[in-house]
Amino acid sequence: MPEERTRDRMLIEAGLALAAELDLDAVLQRIVELSVDLTDARYGALGVLTEDGRNIERFITEGISDEIRAAIGPPPVGHGILGLLITERRPMRITDIERDPRAQGFPPNHPPMHSFLGAPVLARGKVFGNLYLAEKRGGEPFSEDDEAALIVLATQAGVAIENARLYAETQRAQVELRRLEVLDERERIAKELHDGVIQSLFAVGMGLQGTAALAHDDDLSHRIESAVEEIDRAIRDLRNYIFGLRPGILADRQLDQALKELGREFERKTEVLTIVAVDAGVAAELASRAADMVQLTREALSNVGRHAQATSCRVTLRRAPGGAELEIDDDGTGFDAGSPRAGMGLDNLEDRVRGMGGSLTIQSVSGEGTTLRAFLPL
């Protein structure tokens, strides 16, 4: 029992340690180090797979010196036992890999290895790579408890890898925005949200996830997992908001091009057929309010994606008497204007249009879709 409590504590600490790392290379090396410590293995490795998931493109090790790696030669690409783990995509525990008929032997200068434990690491819903552990200290084979602990760590590792990837994407976006000299107050807020609030939520979620995996009460585990899912949703919403704050979509495009890009992005994410028709002359006259126009359209499309259950949507920017009219029309379920649902996200849209000196009208009938029209003076 004391040993079990020690391993439980190690898993929770491992989750927190991975949550603290933001550099992908550092995360990958830390995963291997933690897996070795957790299972008391002499050797550990993480084989990062190619995009098609068929071969190993990177092989990160622990317990093997640089000199021995150089003497062994090129890293494995995914044959024998390592290849079997790639194809079967499930945890694997072997008492002696040298005697296993599926093994293809070791290259010259490779240290002897007998006991083996492996598990896949999932990120973005697909196998990112596989953890390989060999030669448990003391000479005994890896146990069921070792396998269970490695599965928990592999789950934590997948979340950490995804977080590091998203952080790297944010960093690259910030570098590009600085190059374009458009890093403004919105970017400062976005960075604070990502580096502060999101990282705190992520650390809490990782800790809860590790606790849920170790809980012996099914009801408690389910409740903890539900809380983790809510945290994940909050993180996704915050990230969507952060990317919405970025005016980078306008950095090298006119408003008409930006609106068309929004339409393509929305269609790609939601599979809702989206048609964008823009009067280029009107878009040019609204250039000084382009960032507000893009955010207004983004929020309106977000409402369609979340609530409308639509199959098609049309975004139109045209000239109207005395000004311009932005119309977002969908063929979704619509809603009763008198129902509580009518207020979902619509107050924010109305406030944004009013802040631009315009007015907003919404027409919707339950079961017959919704039409939003924003009038903006020119």
- Token pair of 49 as six digits: 């797979």
How much is the pLDDT for 213? 61
Specify burial of residue 28 (Cβ count, 10 A radius: 0-12, 13-18, 19+). Answer: buried
DSSP structure class, residue 247: G
pLDDT higher than 60, residue 182: no
How much is the pLDDT for 163? 85
Helix ranges (DSSP H) in the chain: 2-20, 24-39, 66-72, 80-88, 144-179, 185-192, 199-214, 218-245, 255-270, 280-285, 290-303, 346-355
Quickly state the pLDDT bin for 187 (edges 50, 70, 90).
Answer: low
The SS3 of residue 215 is coil
pLDDT, tens digit, for every residue of 113-169?
A: 889 999 999 887 788 889 999 999 988 999 999 999 999 999 888 888 888 888 888
Residue bearing the bigger pLDDT, 179 or 132: 132
How much is the pLDDT for 199? 67
State the Rg of the chain over Cα: 26
Mean pLDDT of 169-195: 64
Domain ranges in the chain? Answer: 2-156, 253-377
How much is the pLDDT for 66? 86
Amino acid sitting at position 172: R
**Inter-residue contact 187 to 153 (CB < 8 Å):** no
| Measured distance CA(188)–CA(167) in Å, rounded | 15
pLDDT, tens digit, for every residue of 10-66?
A: 888 888 888 888 888 888 999 999 999 999 999 999 988 888 888 888 898 999 888
Vertex 221, ends 219 and 226: CA angle to 5°? 95
**Inter-residue contact 262 to 301 (CB < 8 Å):** yes
pLDDT, tens digit, for every residue of 208-248?
A: 766 766 667 777 777 777 787 777 777 666 766 665 555 44
**Inter-residue contact 309 to 332 (CB < 8 Å):** yes
CATH of range 253-377; options 3.40.50.920, 1.10.260.40, 3.30.565.10, 3.40.50.740: 3.30.565.10
**Inter-residue contact 69 to 45 (CB < 8 Å):** no
How much is the pLDDT for 314? 95
The SS3 of residue 200 is helix
| Measured distance CA(174)–CA(182) in Å, rounded | 10
How much is the pLDDT for 251? 36
How much is the pLDDT for 33? 93
**Inter-residue contact 35 to 7 (CB < 8 Å):** no
How much is the pLDDT for 124? 75
pLDDT, tens digit, for every residue of 308-357?
A: 889 999 999 999 998 999 999 999 988 876 555 444 567 778 888 988 89
Going by their DSSP bridges, the two strands 273-278 and 116-123 should be labelled as unpaired
How much is the pLDDT for 242? 62
pLDDT, tens digit, for every residue of 236-284?
A: 667 666 655 554 443 334 688 878 888 888 888 888 899 999 998 898 8
Fold of the domain built from segment(s) 2-156? Beta-Lactamase (3.30.450)
The reported pTM is: 0.49
Mean pLDDT of 203-210: 68
